[in-house]
Chain A
Amino acid sequence: MKFIQYIGGIFTALRSLAGGMIVTWKELLTPKVTMEYPENRKTLVISDRWRSELIMPHDENNEHACTACGICMINCPNGTIQVTSSSIDTEDGKKKKILDKHLWDYGSCTFCNLCVITCPSDAIIFNNDFEGAVFDKSKLLHRLNHEGSKLRDRKKEASTLDTSAKKENKEA
């Protein structure tokens, strides 16, 4: 009886070892998921939810949507954003705040997204361009508004939209 167990044990062991080797053989042939990063830049897919660099989108007329209200600066938990503004007199004699500089420090940002969420005019967003390493700390301080850019005139846009909408209504 003992001897039968001894012999049976050998065959059980051989069978289970072969089973293990079949599993690893399948693993050997599975396609590998490793990404070889600098070579695969062109095909690299970064998730849209990835936050890496704060940017202020400008349109083709070099206009942005920032009203220099400073809400992003107030909401930033660690003082990463500095918004400087100046006031000018408009044609119809009103005082208006315009944006001078929107400064954002890449080095101290925690990418919490609070500035983007609270911005009332959706002027800033995080893009997913993750290659932000630089050799000099001073290069981490980004100025988000481009040189010579100005606020997009929302009223004009809205009025043209309004008239077109009315026209459509009349036609209907």
Chain B
Amino acid sequence: MLIYSQPLELTKLLAAIDNFLQGNLTPGWTVLVKGILVGILILAAYTLIALSLIYIERKVAAFFQARLGPNRLGKYGVIQSLADMIKILIKEVIQINKADKLLFYAAPFFVIVASVLAFGALPFGMNLHALDFNIGVFYLLAVSSLGIIGILLAGWSSNNKYSMIGAMRSGAQFISYELSAGFSLMTIVVLSGSMQFSEIIEGQRYCWNLFNGHLPAMIAFLIYLISGHAETNRGPFDLPEAESELTAGYHTEYSGLQFGFFYLSEYLNMFIVAAVAATVFLGGWMPVQIKGWEAFNQVMWYIPSWAWFFGKAGLLMFFSLWVRWSFPRLRIDLLLNLEWKYLLPINLANLLVMVVIVLSGFTLTDLFPALFGK
């Protein structure tokens, strides 16, 4: 295999930093400093991505409603969400008299910690991966489902019936759809034969999993997108926060920075769902390559891998916004109906079909090794 020139890749910069640290510090200190640097970078990226997502969401929502959206602060209103952040930071955190104080203050941290943990395990690009677990998919599913504890705690400790109903709805919805999301990811784990993100991405060098597993993979992709929307309480599944019924759902009583935590994690969860879908189904940070077309592949490699990753995730996020502004909110019984009577049975059958296809060699890489093989 040819080694392609990758001018915009961050690999060299990372190696230089690594050499510098190792040359000047003892191994223990190197690990510590690197850990702190990675932590700061992840938190900074978290905030930046959430802020830009809030801006993009408002802009896209406006365009779907024949408006212009934020257009006053900066050119086209680009620093609107920065101003909102400053406003939220200087707001008072209001004490609720009859709330369960400890749980009330702990709840937003559960939500944001779960989402930061999931965010930290994403492969952002070539070598831009904080920790490449050999059970990466499993880890991501596990930590992202921690967030629901925070939501239930928030609803319970607020001592407010709207918060409680919102949290209960959210809990029912999250736990139901977590099943579907898990099974659809398992379908792809069966296809790629690994839970490690780096291996899943490497396996999609010439053929994305979405096409490699053709019919069952496409069904799994669709189900993952639906359950991802439902898990993040967005799109037509935003009934835990149905403002016409529940004011704001589980975060009704929160103000200031605590509300900001819920707000940030909601947007970041949307990004995480899109990023996981992009990584697992659409090849992650791997550029589009065609076997044998060396010139074409080289051109594709000139685009850095992180740009591919954010491009694919961005496309899926746009899809999520499109869905959100297209469909009316589901009723709670219809929501659970969709999950338990449709998505889950289809998903189980789909998993079985995928196993049969993989075992009998009907994936595209097995059928056309000359075109798509490794």
Contact = CB atoms under 8 A, between A and B. Distances in A.
Interface of A: 10, 17, 20-21, 23-25, 27-28, 30, 32-34, 36
B326 interface: yes
B63 interface: yes
8 contacts: A10-B346, A17-B326, A21-B326, A25-B322, A28-B60, A32-B68, A34-B67, A34-B68
Contacts of A28: 60, 63-64, 322
A51 B152 CA distance: 57
A27 B326 CA distance: 10
| A-B residue pairs, 5 tightest by C-beta | A24-B326, A34-B68, A20-B326, A21-B326, A28-B63
Given A20-B326, A34-B67, 15 more contacts: A10-B346, A21-B322, A21-B326, A23-B326, A24-B325, A24-B326, A25-B322, A27-B65, A27-B66, A30-B66, A32-B63, A32-B66, A32-B67, A36-B68, A36-B71
Nearest to A23: B326
Interface of B: 60, 63-68, 71, 322-323, 325-327, 342, 346
A34 to B, nearest CB: 4
A24 B236 CA distance: 14
Contacts of B326: 17, 20-21, 23-24
Contacts of A17: 326-327
A104 B326 CA distance: 52
Contacts of B322: 21, 24-25, 28
A93 B60 CA distance: 77
A34 B68 CA distance: 7
Contacts of B327: 17, 20
Nearest to A33: B66
Q: For A28, A30, A32, A36, which residue has the most chain B Cβ atoms within 10 angstroms?
A: A28
Contacts of A27: 64-66
B317 to A, nearest CB: 15
Contact of A24 (B64, B71, B342): B64
A25 B327 CA distance: 12
A21 B323 contact: yes
A30 to B, nearest CB: 6
Nearest to A25: B322
A30 B65 CA distance: 10
Contacts of A21: 322-323, 326
Contacts of B64: 24, 27-28
A23 B326 CA distance: 8
Nearest to B346: A10
A11 to B, nearest CB: 12
A36 B76 CA distance: 11
B179 to A, nearest CB: 18
Nearest to A35: B68
A109 to B, nearest CB: 31
Given A20-B327, A25-B322, A36-B68, A10 B63 contact: no
A20 B235 CA distance: 14
B164 to A, nearest CB: 32
A33 B65 CA distance: 11
B346 to A, nearest CB: 8
Contacts of B60: 28
B216 to A, nearest CB: 15
A21 B318 CA distance: 12
Contacts of A33: 66
Contacts of B325: 24
A161 to B, nearest CB: 54
B57 to A, nearest CB: 14
Contacts of B71: 36
A24 B321 CA distance: 11
A20 B326 CA distance: 6
A30 B63 CA distance: 9
Contacts of A34: 67-68
A169 B303 CA distance: 86
Q: For A23, A27, A33, which residue has the most chain B Cβ atoms within 10 angstroms?
A: A27
Nearest to A24: B326
Q: For B71, B326, B327, which residue has the most chain A Cβ atoms within 10 angstroms?
A: B326
Nearest to B318: A28
A171 to B, nearest CB: 62
A27 B64 CA distance: 6
A23 B60 CA distance: 15
B342 A10 contact: yes
A10 B223 CA distance: 13
Contacts of B63: 28, 32
A19 to B, nearest CB: 10
A63 B66 CA distance: 49
A32 B67 CA distance: 6
Nearest to A36: B71
Contacts of A32: 63, 66-68
